[in-house]
Structure 1
Amino acid sequence: MSKRKRNLKDKQDGPLVKKRRSRLWLSNLPMDILQSIVSRLPIRQAVRTSILSKHWKCVWCYRTNLEFSFKSLVLKKGSRIPRSHISEYVFIQRVNSVLMQHSGIGVEKLKVEFSPLHDEHSEHIDRWVQFAISSKTKQLIFDFEYQCPTKEPYGFPFQLFDASSGSHLEYMKLGSISLKHPTNISVLLNLKKLELENVNTTDLELKQMLFNCSVLEFIGVSCCKMLTCVETPRLLKHFKHLHVSHCPLLQGIVLHFGLVTLEYEGPLMPLAPPSTLRNLSIKSSDISSALAYMFTELPSTLSGLETLTLKSEELKRANLPNTPLRFVYLKHVILELNFVSLGVRADVLDLACLLEAAPIMENLEVHMLMDDRLGRYRKFQGELRSLPSHPHSHLMMVNITGFFGQKAQVELALHILRNSAILKAMKIDPKPSVVGVGVDLEMNGLCFLDGYKVAKKYLRRADHHGVVDIIKVRRSQVENVIPSLLIDPLWLAMLAKDE
């Protein structure tokens, strides 16, 4: 269209009017959406939104998740202020300020995590408990990481609860707190999950507490230095899961009918699990052979076991019975094994007996820490051993970590690969995902590269269905690199906690 024709058309249609696009301001969103957005911010940033405008002043005040810690209240991005430089009174002042401004309505979760707090601050902490009660909090977490042995730990005020206020609490975690004489624990009518860590409580007090919480489903007890015995509630029909770890004076665990899952970590002690137990996790430095423990020390009452996790140091070779068929319902096996001594005759290939011992096993995880000085498999070490064929018709998933390519490791992986009729995936990771207490992590990082090369050479050749997934390791990743940096940091954090 020519310029003259366009001008003529403009005159006929009238002058052009530019239409303004309406702008969508964040403040125009519905209040429930704004509150949802602010709830995803750390508490310190959420409170700061109140200075934006009058409209924003009260948005954060209906936040349902209140978490107070050094990181959320004090630490700024890029700041290097150590926690020890922050006075507990500064922390208390900031918590009090937030709670005073909050609406006190509909708080789902109240979490306070700060190590210097103890009994001298009970006046303030009691007010936080009262806030939780009045706001009908469902999840209450007080973890003070007690680090002052000369100070008396904070005593939890059960006396503040009554039958109506205690009925709202569903989950409670207490750390570094005293629970002496919990006379009013019976008012926590809907408490489903209870976690106690480094808590001062006696056997009788704990038993009384558990007996009176009628709908409890989960109990976690860890690092409680006064406990000598943990007994599961006898009359609680909902109770299914018990976790006990690192209680130094513990001498016994009394288990009653109804328990489904037991997790225990610490010195080995006799267990008599009920026949209802389906999931068992035992992590103990007292176990010198995982297979020997499975076949000779696990109670006969575990005939219905479906999931088994064992963590041990392999210090000897197991003398297995001639007919190891035992775990007829076992579906998932997780082994965290530490082969660290050159003088030990433990044989990784012995683990192949699990194919016969657990005929309906569907998932097998073998996490190994090997001595890297043994080196990768080479032909001068002799031909690879092969065991009699034992086809397995249920195993679908296999995960092997810490595969350094040592001879017995190759033999085990090949045996599983050849005998698993419906195997869908076998993951081979040369990097270990499990470490043991006192283990030197300054191993030669090239052992990870060796594991990758050996797996690629021998397992890929035997993989006729494309199920083997080998995690690739390059020389540039491991050469001149501290091997511990290549290990899953989650496992390293767990090791530091154990030590």
Structure 2
Amino acid sequence: MGLPALERIISMQRERRRRQTRARGKLPPPPPPLSQLPRPPQRIFCGSIASAPKRKSSALHLQQDGNSQGAKRMKYLPILPEDIWWHIHSLMPMLDAARAACVSRTFMHSWRRHTSLTFSEKTLGMDESVCEKDGKARDLTYKVANISIEHPGIGVKRVRIEFDDYKTRAYYLDRWLQIAITTGIEELSVSSSMCQKRFKFPWSLLSEGSGNSIRYLDLSWCAFRPTVRLGLRSLTQLTLFDVHISETELACLLDNSFSLQQLTLMWCSKIVRLKIPPLVQQLITLEVLGCKRLQAIEIDAQTLSKFFFCGKQLVQLSFGEALHLKTVDMHSRGAVCDARANLPSSLPNLETLSVYSYCEAVSTPMVGSKFPFLKHLTVKLAAAAAAAAAPDYDYCSLISFFDASPSLETFFLNAFLGSMHHPSILGDPSGRRQMPEHRYDKLKNVTIVGFSSAKTLVELTCHILDSSKSLEFLTLDATQGYDYLRCSVNRSGKCFPVSRDVILEGRRGLLAIKKYIKGNVPPKVKFTIVEPCSQCHVVEL
């Protein structure tokens, strides 16, 4: 609910009182609309309204719920219980809520109890030059000072601070955080600009019990350097995005976070060795992305259920007694080889495994250890892998995963552009290899995206058909999997453009399917072939 809705309420109330007055034969001149009323003096935080000059006006008193006899005769706001007005006010965006407080004593009372605050250039009515001109800088300083007067922070639950201008950060972020971080706050999000000189978050505001009520903490592009343990006992979700914090300083933040359930670290370049302390016994999800100096991760949380890692290089992983870890998603160089060689012995209860490799070895190792409960396997081989070693990579080495996973139900393979560089089975006089006989009794659904005429890829598909009597669905996608960008669903009415080589290899993949695969598909299997668009991707072989 914003100012337009407030004006409608005032207009309806005004019309009702006008009819009552007309019935008595006395019709005073109509008051001006809300948009034409003079602005209040510099007293209340209300965006650009706070900078208006001081002036006296009876019309101003008419909108302040009983400040004069005239206002008593013509109240603009309907008479409603105070808790209803508080609820209406809480639904407004912050800027509208503050402006409404400027024109109504009722809304002023509820503004002081507003539970959600957002400090940004938009909500403060600032433009790009606000800190470059002395007059506007003084005006901004006055606004910030009045926030603590008109809204002391009591009852605030959610605070979000977003600023891109470094000068604004340097002068005002500390003050806003002092206003925002009060007893009872539950959600705090601070995002400043990307600069070499980072804003130093005043971590002491979270000590001595001030942060005990915080459940959600999200910090971006700042430095967080605590020297003592913090008491974030209620913290359930922590996100650090490009924050300068070392592993020792992170330990000060985590040691007393007994309720932490989700931890996300993105591009935190100061962390070398990440250790999740054993006291964090409610952690369910751990996400680590782009921490370029990270070398090792040690996890002692027995309740951990989901782990996501993305980085250029593999790191040393130690899962301790992570008995409940069921989902692992790894994106890095050599992820397929590493997952097969090192994960089975440390994660016996793993059910879902996704590996995305940027550069894979010639083949996946054949290891004796097993994934006894693995049900869902996803393997993605990126184009970078194709450029490095894809012509030598043997897709049939993925059979090692099948042999190690007696409970496997679904298998998804995305070959991307890699399979294009493999020797084609078409025209190969030796035909396809015959693989040792195996049985995959629970495998039901297989999807291969980026299917081509690559010999080892065709051989892998044929092996799955020969060994999986329980198979119910088989999908071979001879495109690059851009279903959401096809002409049938794209607003432009055209498919996502792809290179001529990709289209040609897709056509060769279709020929390989017809020659080597289609005849081996059992009738009970629902067989789906996704072909390149015949309208948008037309080329001659």
TM-score (structure 1 length as normaliser): 0.69
Matched, 1:303 2:348: yes
**CA distance in 1 between partners of 2:277 and 2:118 (Å):** 31
Q: Which has the larger radius of gyration?
A: 2
**CA distance in 2 between partners of 1:399 and 1:160 (Å):** 52
Alignment counterpart, residue 247 of structure 1, candidates 284, 291, 295: 291
- What are the equivalent positions in structure 2 for 1:25-174 lying under 5 Å apart? 86-87=128-129, 89=131, 109-117=158-166, 121-134=169-182, 136-146=184-194, 148-149=195-196, 151=197, 153-161=198-206, 165-174=210-219
CA RMSD of aligned residues (A): 4.6
- What are the equivalent positions in structure 2 for 1:248-327 lying under 5 Å apart? 248-258=292-302, 259-266=304-311, 267-275=313-321, 276=323, 277-285=325-333, 287=334, 290=336, 292-298=337-343, 300-318=345-363, 320-321=365-366, 324=368, 326-327=370-371
Asked whether the equivalents of residues 203 and 225 of structure 2 are also in contact (C-alpha less than 8 Å), the reply is no
- AA of the residue aligned to 2:245: T
Deviation per CA, 1:296-345, whole angstroms, max 9, x where unpaired? 34473223322222222454323643x74611122222222134137731
- What are the equivalent positions in structure 2 for 1:293-372 lying under 5 Å apart? 293-298=338-343, 300-318=345-363, 320-321=365-366, 324=368, 326-338=370-382, 339-341=385-387, 344-371=391-418
> What secondary structure, in the 3-state scheme, does the structure 1 residue paired with 2:391 have?
coil
Q: CA deviation at 1:359?
A: 0.7
- AA of the residue aligned to 2:159: L
**CA distance in 1 between partners of 2:211 and 2:161 (Å):** 19
**CA distance in 1 between partners of 2:207 and 2:240 (Å):** 21
Q: CA deviation at 1:184?
A: 6.2
Aligned pair in 2 of structure 1 residues 278, 376: CA closer, same or farther (>3 Å)?
A: same
Q: CA deviation at 1:231?
A: 0.9
Q: CA deviation at 1:69?
A: 6.7
> What secondary structure, in the 3-state scheme, does the structure 1 residue paired with 2:218 have?
strand
Q: Where in structure 1 are there 5+ consecutive unaligned residues?
A: 1-26, 76-82, 435-440, 481-499
> What secondary structure, in the 3-state scheme, does the structure 2 residue paired with 1:253 have?
strand
- AA of the residue aligned to 2:503: L
**CA distance in 2 between partners of 1:361 and 1:231 (Å):** 32
Query: Which is further off, 331-340 or 385-394?
Result: 385-394
- AA of the residue aligned to 1:402: G
**CA distance in 2 between partners of 1:66 and 1:404 (Å):** 54
Alignment counterpart, residue 227 of structure 1, candidates 271, 275, 279: 271
- AA of the residue aligned to 2:370: R
Q: CA deviation at 1:380?
A: 1.6
Asked whether the equivalents of residues 159 and 184 of structure 1 are also in contact (C-alpha less than 8 Å), the reply is no
Aligned pair in 2 of structure 1 residues 48, 133: CA closer, same or farther (>3 Å)?
A: closer
Alignment counterpart, residue 237 of structure 1, candidates 275, 281, 285: 281
- AA of the residue aligned to 2:202: P
Alignment counterpart, residue 215 of structure 1, candidates 248, 252, 259: 259
Aligned pair in 2 of structure 1 residues 228, 164: CA closer, same or farther (>3 Å)?
A: closer
Asked whether the equivalents of residues 259 and 280 of structure 2 are also in contact (C-alpha less than 8 Å), the reply is yes
> What secondary structure, in the 3-state scheme, does the structure 1 residue paired with 2:355 have?
strand
- AA of the residue aligned to 1:465: K
- AA of the residue aligned to 1:271: L
> What secondary structure, in the 3-state scheme, does the structure 2 residue paired with 1:344 have?
helix
Q: CA deviation at 1:199?
A: 1.1
**CA distance in 1 between partners of 2:210 and 2:243 (Å):** 23
Aligned pair in 2 of structure 1 residues 394, 114: CA closer, same or farther (>3 Å)?
A: farther
Matched, 1:475 2:534: yes
**CA distance in 1 between partners of 2:265 and 2:293 (Å):** 13
TM-score (structure 2 length as normaliser): 0.64
Tell me the residue number matched to 1:179. 224
- AA of the residue aligned to 1:112: I
> What secondary structure, in the 3-state scheme, does the structure 2 residue paired with 1:221 have?
strand
Asked whether the equivalents of residues 325 and 357 of structure 1 are also in contact (C-alpha less than 8 Å), the reply is yes
Q: CA deviation at 1:374?
A: 3.9
> What secondary structure, in the 3-state scheme, does the structure 2 residue paired with 1:268 have?
coil
- Identity level (%): 23
Tell me the residue number matched to 1:390. 438
Asked whether the equivalents of residues 428 and 469 of structure 1 are also in contact (C-alpha less than 8 Å), the reply is yes
Matched, 1:444 2:501: yes
Tell me the residue number matched to 1:3. none
Tell me the residue number matched to 1:415. 463
Deviation per CA, 1:377-413, whole angstroms, max 9, x where unpaired? 5642343444344232222333332223433333323
Matched, 1:202 2:202: no
Query: Which is further off, 375-384 or 230-239?
Result: 375-384
Asked whether the equivalents of residues 314 and 346 of structure 1 are also in contact (C-alpha less than 8 Å), the reply is no
**CA distance in 1 between partners of 2:151 and 2:450 (Å):** 50
**CA distance in 2 between partners of 1:162 and 1:347 (Å):** 56
**CA distance in 2 between partners of 1:56 and 1:464 (Å):** 73
**CA distance in 1 between partners of 2:427 and 2:124 (Å):** 61
**CA distance in 2 between partners of 1:347 and 1:478 (Å):** 29
Q: CA deviation at 1:376?
A: 9.6
